Amino acid sequence: MKKIILACIALAGLLLSAAGARADDQYKILVLAMPGKYHYEYIPIARESLEKQAKLHAFELVYTHRPEVFDGDLSQYAMVMFLNTPGEELSEPRRRKFEEYMRNGGNAMLVHRALIIPPNTWPWFEKLIGRRVGNHPMLQTGVAEVVDKKFPATYGLPARWIWSDEWYVFDNPYNIKINPVLNVDESTYDPTKIWPGQVSKGMGKDHPVAWYHQMEKGRVFVTALGHNGEMYRDPQYLSHLMGGIYWTATGKGIQQ
């Protein structure tokens, strides 16, 4: 009997400790990471890295590949991240739920493949992104330049950052005002290098690859970077993501 009592006390202590750990979380975020034709190997790598970030920075992370999560209560999340997962993956009712979440002050973060959605499939989501992806040259090494050193997603980056990615080309059919934080220097790669039968052109000096803006009543952070799975182990890239998470979830961190 004594052993049973001691075991119960020990279990109660563990439960209290777990409850205390949850109580220490500053906020809760949802990450939707669904496998696609060209993006699937990143999922377990990104999950492990983001879970480490959550423990380090004391926030709760819900990481899922199931869009059914949008059937639940989205108001519990300080932000929703579409990680290499475009909005077209959501059914019509789930799209309306997400729109309502943003109208009520929710926040969103969009990473790499999440920016590519067929034109006019969901115009509201295109406006959420702030730009429309046209095409992109082959993955190449280039130089990303910090254009807003006061924004948290650039704090861990050098002024000129050597990075290899798909440098998406954008247009702005809805005339959305964005605040760029990273541009890519097109002189450091070949914007025309693309697959046979396709044509790619650069955007010139003003070629954003990460930015933020407001949508409905919420904050939106967008980064076009993050094509390969190994990128989600890179300390500088994770610093970039964490800065975006921090600002999107809290609205804090911009240097005045």
The structure tokens listed for 151 are 């924004």
Position 95 scores a pLDDT of: 98
Residue 182's φ and ψ, nearest 5 degrees, are -135, 135
Q: What is the mean pLDDT of residues 209-219?
A: 97
Q: What is the pTM of this model?
A: 0.90
Which phi and psi (to 5°) does residue 103 adopt?
-65, -25
- At residue 64, φ and ψ (nearest 5 deg) are -145, 155
Question: Positive or negative CA dihedral for 224, 226, 232, 236?
Answer: negative
Structure confidence by residue, pLDDT tens digits, 104-116 = 999 999 999 999 9
- φ and ψ at 144, to 5 degrees? -90, 135
- Strand order of the β-sheet with 218-223 is 60-64, 28-32, 79-83, 108-111, 218-223, 208-215, 179-185, 140-146, 160-165
- Looking at the DSSP bridge assignments, the partners of residue 223 are 111, 210
Query: How crowded is the C-beta side of 65, counted as CA atoms within 13 Å?
Result: 11
**pLDDT digits over 92-137, tens only?**
999 999 999 999 999 999 999 999 999 999 999 999 999 999 888 9
Look up residue 172 and give its two tokens.
């702005």
Cα 143 to Cα 27, 159, 193, 231: the distances in Å are 34, 10, 16, 15
